[in-house]
Amino acid sequence: MKITMKAILINETEEQKQIINSMMLVFCTAIRFSFKRLLENKRNALLSKLDKRQRKANYFKKFIDTNTVPPVTFGTKEMFIRRCKGLISKEEWTDCRNNRFYSRGDKSKNGNPNLRVIIKNEISYLEISTFEKTSTNRAIKIQVPIYLPQKLSKKTGKVNGINYKEIFLSHLASGETYQVKILKRNNKYYCHITFEMLKKEIIYTWHNGIIGIDTNPDGFALTMIDNKGNYKWHTYLKQHELSYARANRRENLCGELAKQVILIAKIYNCGIAIEDLKFKNDKDIHGKFARIKYQFIYCKLLTMLESACIREGIEIIKVKPQFTSKIGLYKYCHQYGMVVHNGASMVIARRSYNFKERVPKILKDKLVKDLDRFNKKNEWSKWNEINKNLKRKVGERPDLWLVNRKKILGVVS
């Protein structure tokens, strides 16, 4: 599990600023050049992707007809328009286009050969390999002081939250790889350092029970079971702002939700089970999937939760997500007075123990016509057939099933 620590260069001299700016200029120019070369060989592939965007067909039609691709603006389209209107200077536009460079790590060269963090006399520096060479063809290096984030409490003097500095220094001592990315914002140089987080010994395991978690657009649905699969309790951690808050606020809310889950797991001394959701890194998809992936920030919630579990020594188990909501709705919600999301989280928790979810007898008797054929199917096929039969009766709305369950099954008139 990789994490990214945000640092900042401090006390840099004018000469060092000039060197960093020139390196950013070369790096960003190379990106633009390589993108143009990429288009020469990938134009047909890009055009085939344009065909998938049905809602933007009119906009892309001219590009298809002329065998071209949509324009790409390095430095953001918004800043380009502002430059055309004369709202920003040429220097500001140039800074926006040439404002970054990064270097990937190499384990054989002490972590990172080009952008290396070093410690001298308990002071941290970023050692940058410049483009200038010595007579022996070695890169001339400069050392710029770098501030590694560490938030200390004014009252206790202890570190508030995650001690990124301590975690990174222990990683640095191990000689493992790390990636450094330098970004220029408001004439300051920020460093994003990404490294693999060391796994902590697991203390809280599934032996004392497990908490199943169903991820939703507005928070987490939690249901705990014991190690025999029996229901213990359920709750719902909500954050309504997740659907409309700004990026920084939304990220903070995700962290608060993960923190609450970790605290609950520690109190009950148990592990956590989540769905193994895998999204393709492709934006050329239909609108429903795009909303799930981007607006509903499932990835951010699960990534933060997984990172916190690894950091705190809590066992986290990933299970397949198929039919968790449907099984929870038709089998557990009416038994324990839960909403459909908590029913799904109970199925997730039971699935982490490899328990089977058999179809209740009353559902088979009322909804299945050919029991012999039905019994030969696997577990998911059985639930798929039950779901299709119930959809014909109540449609897609789960609340109708919960309210009218007995009438739908013919238990009461």
Band of residue 200 on the pLDDT scale cut at 50, 70, 90: confident
DSSP summary character for residue 14: H
Mean pLDDT of the chain: 83
Backbone angles phi, psi at 194, to 5 degrees: -110, 130
Tokens standing for 228? 């025999």
**Helical ranges in 202-297 per DSSP H:** 247-268, 287-290
Domains of the chain (ranges; CATH) run 100-195 (no CATH), 210-357 (3.30.420.10)
Q: CB under 8 Å to 230, separation ≥6 — which residues?
A: none
Highest mean pLDDT among 72-81, 160-169, 340-349, 388-397: 340-349
The pTM (predicted TM-score) of the whole model is 0.68
Q: What is the mean pLDDT of residues 56-71?
A: 75
Tokens of 292: 């799930």
pLDDT attached to residue 213:
95
The three-state secondary structure class of 32 is helix
Q: Tens digit of pLDDT for each residue in 230-286?
A: 999 999 999 888 878 888 888 889 989 999 999 999 999 999 999 988 755 544 445
Contact call for residues 343 and 328 (beta carbons, < 8 A): yes
- According to DSSP, the β-strands at 271-275 and 316-319 are parallel
Task: Report the C-alpha gap between 127 and 117 in whole angstroms.
Answer: 6
Q: Which residues contact 264 (CB under 8 A, 6 or more apart)?
A: 211, 222
- pLDDT score at 260: 94
Given pLDDT bands bounded at 50, 70 and 90, which one contains residue 47? low
19-23, 96-100, 267-271, 288-292: the lowest-pLDDT one: 288-292
Mean pLDDT within 194-212: 87
Question: What's the pLDDT score for residue 364?
Answer: 86
Is the pLDDT assigned to residue 316 strictly greater than 90? yes
